[in-house]
Amino acid sequence: MAEAREPKIILKPGREKSLRHRHPWIFSGAIERVEGDPAPGDTVTVVARDGAFLARAAYNPQSQIRARAWTFDADEEIDAAFLRRRVEAAIARRTLLREGSTGMRIVHGESDGLPGLVADRYGDVVVVQLLSAGAERWREAWGRILVDATGARSVFERSDVEVRGLEGLQPRVGALVGDAPASVRIDEDGIAYEVDVAHGQKTGFYLDQRDNRLLARSLARDADVLNAFCYTGGFSLAAVAGGARHVESIDTSEEALALARRNLALNSFDASKAEWIAADVFAHLRLYRDQGRKFGLIVLDPPKFAPTEKHVPNAARAYKDINLWAMKLLAPGGHLLTFSCSGAVGPDLFRKIVAGAAADAKVDMQVRRQLGASEDHAVSIHFPEGEYLKGLWLQAA
Ligand code: SAH
């Protein structure tokens, strides 16, 4: 059995509880000792103090998350066939979601039993991020597995993210299979978007907001809409498609705005319906206030203000600020879709911050619905950390 030759991690007494609850992370403080000499990414057997088998995991001496469990099954070996089974299962689970969009997350890391692997499909291109030493260890395997499982023509890597630093890994960008795709197009619920997979944010597009874009579309009819932090115009185009009177979209990134404009043209939408503003949202909301502007629908989807726990106090101030100013700009009965993608800001805290903003803005707001990421970003019930995107659909009195 693999167990005999594999290096071993022995946990401190009592520290096996989270693994028994199928949470995949083993923190450095939980480890009593390591037997053998595993290199970063190597598979180790994790046992309780009494020797009981707990998991087979990817080891990383350079990370606070010292190991990430691949499997809780003692009979399962970690090899390319195992990874292939997991990828195929992740894709099979999403069969029903394929309808309506050619863009979809097909592997969502820990929640799909593949710690550190993110894979997004855009038409016949798959974009991957390898975010852990374990995912990195199997770099050679992913390309072939993903091509076989999807029929895609190329697999492109976008591992240029800060979390790799916490794992002791360098950023990497480039083709794993096929050519680096120049321009990729998706069709999401009847709207075409061009996706810049090589230079765009994350893997190129915010697939996690698909359901919320549909919601925005349903609320936009005849409204003056403000889309703050618009990136390549996802919510803006949804609002135009939904019959908005006029849509103003703000982002600091000129490249993102240029692509947003192209996306509007791609769909042959009336260009006079949309205005693209290169500005800082914090300043621009105040300007709108001075101008006495009002909007029937406002979307606030800022970048991750709190990348880690220590950023939470500053992030809370920033979230409160934009929500407060947005609420002051809502027309009577107007809708606000407000989001946070900071994992360190939980749903309860986010709600408190937004409530504080409403109190300071002296407006009465109703929660119409709690919002989250689309279903292709389904989260394992044992891994609450996977639920990074949270939002509220609020309506002004
Ligand atoms: N809502 C978008 C994703 C937003 S990502 C979608 O659905 O596609 C966050 C965006 O905020 C990025 O495009 C980034 O360029 C922009 N941004 C960051 N800080 C900003 C600021 N202070 N003012 C305006 N835009 C900002």
- Ligand 1 atom nearest residue 281's Cα: 23
Using the predicted structure, report yes or no on whether residue 3 has a pLDDT greater than 90.
no
pLDDT of 98 reads 73
Mean pLDDT in residue range 134-143:
98
Q: Which are the contacts of 79, defined by CB distance < 8 A and separation ≥ 6?
A: none
Work out the number of other CB atoms within 10 angstroms of the CB of residue 362: 9
Mean pLDDT in residue range 94-107:
88
Structure tokens at 178: 């096929």
Q: Which residue has the tokens 């300043």?
A: 283
Using the predicted structure, report yes or no on whether residue 64 has a pLDDT greater than 80.
yes
- In Å, how far from its chain's centre is CA 211? 14
Q: Residue type for 1, please? A: M
Contact indicator for 292, 200 with CB cutoff of 8 Å: no
Q: Which helix (H) or strand (E) holds 362?
A: none
Using the predicted structure, report yes or no on whether residue 2 has a pLDDT greater than 60.
no
pLDDT of 144 reads 98
Structure tokens at 141: 């395997």
Q: Tell me what percent of the residues of the chain surpass a pLDDT of 90.
A: 96
Q: Which are the contacts of 32, defined by CB distance < 8 A and separation ≥ 6?
A: 10, 11, 12, 49
> By 3-state DSSP, what share of the chain in percent is helix, strand and coil, each rounded to 5?
35, 30, 35
Instruction: Among 4-13, 24-33, 37-46, 151-160, name the one with the lowest average pLDDT.
Output: 4-13
Structure tokens at 378: 């389904």
Cα–ligand 1 centroid distance for 302 (angstroms) = 5
Pocket test for ligand 1, best of 252, 284, 388 (most atoms within 8 A of CB): 252
Q: Which residues are catalytic?
A: 341
Q: Which residue has the tokens 């911050």?
A: 353
pLDDT of 353 reads 98
Structure tokens at 6: 């594999």
In the structure, what pLDDT confidence band is assigned to residue 316 with cuts at 50, 70 and 90? very high
List the one residue out of 279, 230, 237 whose CA is nearest residue 256: 230
- Ligand 1 atom nearest residue 212's Cα: 7
Q: Tell the residue nearest (CA) to atom 23 of ligand 1.
A: 280
Query: Whole-angstrom Cα distance, residue 50 to residue 13?
Result: 8
Counting every residue, how long is the chain?
397
By the 10 Å C-beta count (0-12 exposed, 13-18 middle, 19+ buried), 76 is classed as: middle
In the structure, what pLDDT confidence band is assigned to residue 110 with cuts at 50, 70 and 90? very high
Using the predicted structure, report yes or no on whether residue 97 has a pLDDT greater than 80.
no
Structure tokens at 166: 């916490």
Cα–ligand 1 centroid distance for 233 (angstroms) = 10
Mean pLDDT in residue range 340-355:
97
Using the predicted structure, report yes or no on whether residue 61 has a pLDDT greater than 60.
yes
| Per-residue pLDDT tens over the stretch 143-173 | 999 999 999 999 999 999 999 999 999 999 9
Structure tokens at 334: 């107007």
Q: 75 in helix, strand or coil? A: coil
Q: Which residue has the tokens 């006495």?
A: 292
pLDDT of 181 reads 87
By the 10 Å C-beta count (0-12 exposed, 13-18 middle, 19+ buried), 73 is classed as: exposed
Query: Whole-angstrom Cα distance, residue 200 to residue 263?
Result: 14
- Ligand 1 atom nearest residue 339's Cα: 1
In the structure, what pLDDT confidence band is assigned to residue 182 with cuts at 50, 70 and 90? confident
Query: Whole-angstrom Cα distance, residue 259 to residue 228?
Result: 16
| Per-residue pLDDT tens over the stretch 219-252 | 999 999 999 999 999 999 999 999 999 999 999 9
- 210-219 helix and 234-241 helix, angle to the nearest 10 degrees: 40
Q: Tell the residue nearest (CA) to atom 18 of ligand 1.
A: 303
- 254-266 helix and 234-241 helix, angle to the nearest 10 degrees: 30
Instruction: Provide the terminal-to-terminal Cα distance of the chain, rounded to the nearest Å.
Output: 65
Q: Which residues line ligand 1 (CB under 6 A)?
A: 206, 209, 229-232, 234-235, 250-253, 256, 280-282, 301-303
pLDDT of 4 reads 57
pLDDT of 236 reads 98
- Ligand 1 atom nearest residue 205's Cα: 8
| Per-residue pLDDT tens over the stretch 362-392 | 999 999 999 999 999 999 999 999 999 999 9
Q: Residue type for 102, please? A: T
Query: Whole-angstrom Cα distance, residue 83 to residue 89?
Result: 10
Cα–ligand 1 centroid distance for 277 (angstroms) = 12
Cα–ligand 1 centroid distance for 235 (angstroms) = 12
Burial code of 215-246, b = ≥16 C-beta within 10 A, e = fewer? bbbebbeebbbbbbbbbbbbbbbbbbbbebeb
